[in-house]
Amino acid sequence: MTVLLSTILTLSLLGILAAVVLYFVAQKFKVEEDPRIDEVEKMLPGANCGGCGFAGCRGMADALVKQDDISSLFCPVGGGDCMKAVAAYLGKSAPEKEPQVATVRCGGTCEKRPRTNDFNGAKSCAVASSLYVGETGCAFGCLGFGDCVVSCAFDAIRMNPETGLPEVDPDKCTACGACVKACPKMIIELRKKWPKNRAVYVSCVSKDKGAVVMKACKAGCIGCGKCQKVCAFDAITIANNLAYIDPQKCKLCRKCVNECPTGAIRLVGMEPLPKAPKTPAAPAAPKAALAAEKTAPAAEKAVESAKPAAEKAALASGQAAPADASKAAAVEKPGEILPPQEWLGLIPCFPICHRSHLLSGGRIDRPVGVDIVGADPCANANRLVSEALHNRHYKYGRILKSDGRHDK
């Protein structure tokens, strides 16, 4: 019994002595901590998401208290209101940052981006991306296994079974950036959050050339540059066969949406601009002109039969027949250019040139289709054409080939 009591007393004395030693050591080496850290930690959301760049809210609170300039620190979950409250408590200036939202930049739905194979491994984007490009022909698109959904602590992102793509709820998204880090294809981006959840962005990250993109996905960007040409705010750049819309410069004018030939530019929360009406085609020839054209051969036959013999003799001699004053005035000099408004619309009716087969400068050089003899066939040709224009008679004559034969 005595041995037992002595043992208990000895152990008790050793424990008390050790406690006294540890107490003095703790007092000697204790670290003074600012009590404001605990208060700031209580002001923070407590999500411990890591979106601020620290392991948790405790690390963020410690940095906020110890740093004099907190302009580089921002809590994406708490937002601007939380940072203003913390800055007011600490007596510092709060950083001003616009709200952001996670944006999935991939429009390759199951319909527009068909599968080419099936992956039977672990259903993880990280695993699949380390093995091969994916189940479709696009090496840059979403893999569809939902690593971003697992990483989100706010239930702000889900997989759409119809499209096979993740969808972000902008009302729940805190822009913590967890989904951005979890995506191995880097198709999720933190972009400016517009009022009423509006947005305009290029839903494609493929850097392949246009032909390769269209073969793999019908909704991909081909880098044509049409959107860049219509942007009046210099918000669109083209690099590596891919268009990018800068959210800081974009004014949501929506002009680029109508210009995109593949629909790669996505419009959210707004209606597209009405497309400009197409330019109407030129009106058809008047019915009166068509009727006159149909009756032209019969009318010309009547005119030719009514020509006096003197005019025919003048044709044979290569001189203009002065039938009357108006016809004599209508005779053109050799090489004279006819008015374009008179002969342009009648080119199908004119005889084709005998040698050059050209209508050069509005002047008909050596036409055939009628027998022309004389010293100056150009004058005769111009005279005949002028008379035909004056009388509104058009002749569909036969074309004389270079070998002298007539072509019907």
Compare 394 and 55 and report the one with higher pLDDT: 55
Closest by CA position to 389, among listed 349, 336, 335:
349
Residue 212: the pLDDT is 94
- Determine phi and psi for 236, rounding to 5 degrees: -115, 130
Residue 30: the pLDDT is 81
What is the mean pLDDT of the segment spanning 117-144? 93
- When mean pLDDT is compared across 129-143, 352-366, 385-399, the lowest value belongs to 352-366
Taking only the tens place, the pLDDT of each residue in 2-22 is: 888 888 889 999 999 999 999
| Average pLDDT of every residue of the chain | 77
**How does residue 308 score in pLDDT terms, banded at 50, 70 and 90?**
low
- Determine phi and psi for 116, rounding to 5 degrees: -115, -10
Distance from C-alpha of 323 to C-alpha of 303, rounded to nearest angstrom: 13
List, as one string, the DSSP characters of 315-367. HHHTS---SSHHHHHHPPPTTPPPPHHHHGGGGGGSPPBSSS--EETTEE-SB
Distance from C-alpha of 156 to C-alpha of 153, rounded to nearest angstrom: 8
Asked if 361 contacts 337 with a C-beta cutoff of 8 angstroms, the reply is yes
Find how far residue 370's CA is from the centre of its chain: 59
Percent pLDDT > 90 in the chain is: 51
Q: Specify the DSSP class assigned to residue 305.
A: H
Could you state, in order of their start, the residue ranges of all structural domains in the chain? 35-97, 100-268, 290-407
**How does residue 371 score in pLDDT terms, banded at 50, 70 and 90?**
very low
Q: How many CA atoms lie within 13 A of 69 on its CB side?
A: 2
The full 3-state SS of 255-310, as one line of letters, equals: HHHHHCCCCCEEEECCCCCCCCCCCCCCCCCCHHHHHHHHHHHHHHHHHHHHCCHH
pLDDT for residue 224 is more than 90: yes
What is the mean pLDDT of the segment spanning 39-46? 92
Q: Is 151 helix (H, G, I), strand (E, B) or coil?
A: helix
- Determine phi and psi for 403, rounding to 5 degrees: -90, 5
Closest by CA position to 113, among listed 219, 33, 217:
217
The CATH code of domain 100-268 reads: 3.30.70.20
What is the mean pLDDT of the segment spanning 168-174? 93
Q: How many CA atoms lie within 13 A of 145 on its CB side?
A: 20
Asked if 353 contacts 364 with a C-beta cutoff of 8 angstroms, the reply is yes
The CATH architecture one would assign to domain 35-97 is Orthogonal Bundle (1.10)
Distance from C-alpha of 363 to C-alpha of 367, rounded to nearest angstrom: 10
Distance from C-alpha of 106 to C-alpha of 220, rounded to nearest angstrom: 8
Q: Which residue, chain included where needed, has tokens 């839903």?
A: 203
Distance from C-alpha of 142 to C-alpha of 156, rounded to nearest angstrom: 18
Q: Specify the DSSP class assigned to residue 230.
A: H
* pTM higher than the cut 0.85: no
Q: Specify the DSSP class assigned to residue 57.
A: H
What is the mean pLDDT of the segment spanning 379-396? 49
Taking only the tens place, the pLDDT of each residue in 59-113 is: 999 999 999 889 889 898 888 889 999 999 999 988 788 899 999 999 999 999 9
Residue 6: the pLDDT is 86
Q: Which residues pair with 367 in a beta bridge?
A: 353
pLDDT for residue 384 is more than 90: no
Taking only the tens place, the pLDDT of each residue in 250-301 is: 999 999 999 999 999 999 999 998 876 665 555 544 554 445 555 555 545 5
State the CB neighbour count (10 A cutoff) for residue 397.
16
Residue 375: the pLDDT is 42
CA-atom Rg of the chain in angstroms? 44
**How does residue 55 score in pLDDT terms, banded at 50, 70 and 90?**
confident
